[in-house]
Amino acid sequence: MKVTKICCIGAGYVGGPTMSVIAQKCPDIKVTVVDINQTRIDAWNDPDLSNLPVYEPGLDKVVAEARGRNLFFSTDVIKAIEESEMIFISVNTPTKTYGEGKGMAADLKWVELCARQIATASKEDKIVVEKSTLPVRTAQAVKDILVNTGNGLKFQILSNPEFLAEGTAIEDLESPDRVLIGGDDTPEGKIAIQALVDIYARWVPKDRILTTNVWSSELSKLTANAFLAQRVSSINALSELCEVTGADVSEVAKAIGTDSRIGSKFLKASVGFGGSCFQKDILNMVYICRSYQLNEVADYWEQVIKMNDHQKARFAKKIIKSLYNTVSGKKITFLGWAFKKDTNDTRESAAIYVADHLLSEQAKICVYDPKVNQEKVYADLEYLNTRSSDENRRHVKVMNDPYEACKDSHAIAILTEWDEFKTYDWEKIYQNMLKPATLFDGRNILSKEEMTKIGFRFYAIGKP
């Protein structure tokens, strides 16, 4: 079966870049990305590519090449479903904030809505591809809805989890370590799997395209994120031990990373992991384990999150302690708000939690991030519901210039590892600060030697 038209429901951090790359690599396939959010779609269609809603290095070039040729962004969900042979579901699946499974389970209301829309709009058989990270056995729920409401049409459900990391999405999509496709082990299932394999095979070597059953595919995505997050929590746990023993976490990471069984990647100690996936996926895994009464397994994975919460709190406490146990009324500058460099995404960013902690101690926070705007910072704080929106706006200022942001502050905290922070004129920043001037490097990107030479009191993660 040759697919000529595909659509993707959800034009976010996953759907947008993924479909842009598919369109770029397959000029003969019409790719339509739809979203209910008109503002988002308008931004994807903006002639000025610096206004795309997702910031990813290299994404503008891909969009420039394919948009209007075979890549389209629209809010007409029904029409796109109707005309496509293959439909990707790439909507958000945040942790539930209400009811049964609150704070743990994934909220599938948007996925269910998609399934119902597909059922309503379809006039022919379709292949439906789950792209969003979903709890194991969601495919069954999607299938149930389609079978029961889909006018007797035949639907094949595939699981094709996305492994791209934000900030390197285009690179990851162009040369993925692997592409994973799960589907039914029936003749129709195999045809559907093959149709999707054929799309990726245009640019991904065949031996990197893995096919499995649907459940293995769904569970692999949760497991990959749990393992990755576990590495970060493990090295972060070690960072605290390093600080008290006099070991240096970077040296330890290097020493253990050279063991090929361990590997060198993903061993950077930090103020804590963030992003839309790690915490959500682990909570989800924990919830699933508990629902099968696998309490030891659930506790084991939950510890990865607890360690991460501890790391964020520890960083905030370190700041307070170093500033003579009070930050009340003191200006503290945050360099970076995004959850990692090269993205404008701030979901679950450590910066939010560190700020919240300091605000509860009455600090005044000034934020500079090269890609995150003021309204996003306020929205992130409001989402926590710790204090009124008015208070957040009074105590947090967002600036467009890093030097202005740092002026007259007692301390600077680096929350995101943006490259530009390394090349700042730190001498000049130091001159304009209140003394003693303290620098908390939550990402270990600056040299302690150089910073202390300038005059800073310097604190890094996991360093003696």
Annotated binding site for NAD(+): 10-15, 35, 40, 91-95, 132-133, 166, 277-280, 347
Q: Does 18 bind ligand ADP (CB under 6 A)?
A: no
- CB of 29 or CB of 77, closer to ligand ADP: 77
Annotated binding site for substrate: 162-166, 221-225, 261, 268-274, 339-340, 443
Q: Does 30 bind ligand ADP (CB under 6 A)?
A: no
Torsion of CA 193, 113, 68, 31, to 10 degrees: 10
Q: Which of 351, 420, 365 is nearest to 393 (CA)?
A: 365
Q: Does 380 bind ligand UDX (CB under 6 A)?
A: no
Taking CB under 6 A as the criterion, the residue among 11, 33, 283, 437 binding ligand ADP is: 11
Q: Does 90 bind ligand ADP (CB under 6 A)?
A: yes
The two structure tokens encoding residue 434: 């209140």
Report the alpha-carbon distance of residue 121 to residue 111 in Å, rounded: 15
228 binds, among ligand ADP, ligand UDX, none (CB under 5 to 8 A by kind): ligand UDX
Q: How far is CA 436 from CA 130, 171, 329, 355, 463, in A?
A: 53, 43, 16, 21, 20
Residues 6+ apart with CB under 8 A from 71: 19, 20, 23, 24, 31, 33, 63
| Least spacing, CB of residue 383 vs ligand ADP, in Å | 13
**β-pair type (438-441, 411-414):** parallel
Taking CB under 6 A as the criterion, the residue among 72, 155, 273, 301 binding ligand UDX is: 273
Catalytic residue among 8, 26, 242, 277: 277
Q: Does 441 bind ligand UDX (CB under 6 A)?
A: no
x-or-dash string of contact with ligand ADP, 58-87, rule CB under 6 A: -------------------x----------
Q: Does 228 bind ligand UDX (CB under 6 A)?
A: yes
Q: Does 17 bind ligand ADP (CB under 6 A)?
A: no
Q: Which of 414, 359, 402 is nearest to 381 (CA)?
A: 359
Is residue 289 part of the annotated active site? The answer reads: no
Q: Does 266 bind ligand UDX (CB under 6 A)?
A: yes
The two structure tokens encoding residue 21: 């790359």
Q: Which of 393, 339, 392, 405 is nearest to 366 (CA)?
A: 405
How does 221-248 read in b/e, with b if 16+ C-beta sit within 10 Å? Answer: bbebbbebbbbbbbbbbbbbebbeeebb
Q: How far is CA 138 from CA 106, 134, 217, 316, 400, in A?
A: 10, 6, 11, 38, 43
Q: Does 159 bind ligand ADP (CB under 6 A)?
A: no
Q: Which of 400, 403, 397, 394 is nearest to 433 (CA)?
A: 403
9 binds, among ligand ADP, ligand UDX, none (CB under 5 to 8 A by kind): ligand ADP
The two structure tokens encoding residue 165: 């990391």
- CB of 146 or CB of 429, closer to ligand ADP: 146
Q: Does 339 bind ligand UDX (CB under 6 A)?
A: yes
| Least spacing, CB of residue 133 vs ligand UDX, in Å | 8
Q: According to CB under 6 A, which residues from 146 to 185 bind ligand UDX?
A: 162-166
The two structure tokens encoding residue 253: 């990471």
Q: Does 90 bind ligand UDX (CB under 6 A)?
A: no
Q: According to CB under 6 A, which residues from 98 to 157 bind ligand ADP?
A: 110, 113-114, 132
Residues 6+ apart with CB under 8 A from 292: none
Q: Which residues are designated catalytic?
A: 277
Q: Which residues bind ligand ADP (CB under 6 A)?
A: 9-15, 34-37, 40, 77, 90-92, 110, 113-114, 132, 276
